[in-house]
Amino acid sequence: MKTNDLAEAATSAAGEPHESEELTRIGEMAKHFGVTLRTLRFYEDKGLINPQRDGATRLYSHRDKARLKLILLGRKVGFSLRDVKQMMDLYDPSGSNARQLKVALEKSEKQMARLQKQRALLDEAIADLSRSMDEARQMLSGNMSARQTAAA
């Protein structure tokens, strides 16, 4: 997701639905975002999205789509749903949103440090595995050469 997409989603996520707004059914929403119906219902139960209802039919607004975009981005980078909800709930359409931005930046800095630590551990594990594989190849190649020499 690009920065502009993120800013647009954050702005749209707090807006109120418009009467003339095009609404999306749950199946279309799930397909568009690559999530399951169960996932959408779960996010609704957690108060992260709030679709309109027409009987038993869930209808998602532009605001719900923007919020889902933010939820999925947050999950992709490793934020908990609690963190995502906290950051989205701090949005104030009439304010500067300095508090929301500060909280988001603090959480992002902590998450970046966790991800960098995980990357270092992964890089170390990959290097160890690569060395082990090289040693196994050398041993196999040495055994094959010894067998070929003995057979000759």
Per-residue pLDDT of 31-85, as tens digits, reads 999 999 999 999 999 999 999 999 999 999 999 999 999 999 999 999 999 999 9
DSSP 8-state code for residue 90: T
DSSP 8-state code for residue 55: T
By the 8 A CB rule, do 103 and 111 touch?
Answer: no
CA nearest to 7, candidates 112, 95, 91, 103: 91
Average pLDDT, the chain: 87
Q: Computed from CA positions of residues 83, 4, 43, 94, in that sequence, does the dihedral angle turn out positive or negative? A: positive
The reported pLDDT for the residue numbered 85 is 94
- pTM value surpassing 0.75: no
Question: Is the pLDDT higher at 24 or at 2?
Answer: 24
Residues 6 or more apart whose Cβ sits within 8 Å of residue 99? 90
The reported pLDDT for the residue numbered 91 is 87
Structure confidence at residue 3 as a pLDDT band (50, 70, 90): very low
By the 8 A CB rule, do 22 and 59 touch?
Answer: no
Return the amino acid letter for 74: G
Structure confidence at residue 92 as a pLDDT band (50, 70, 90): confident
Per-residue pLDDT of 114-130, as tens digits, reads 999 999 999 999 999 99
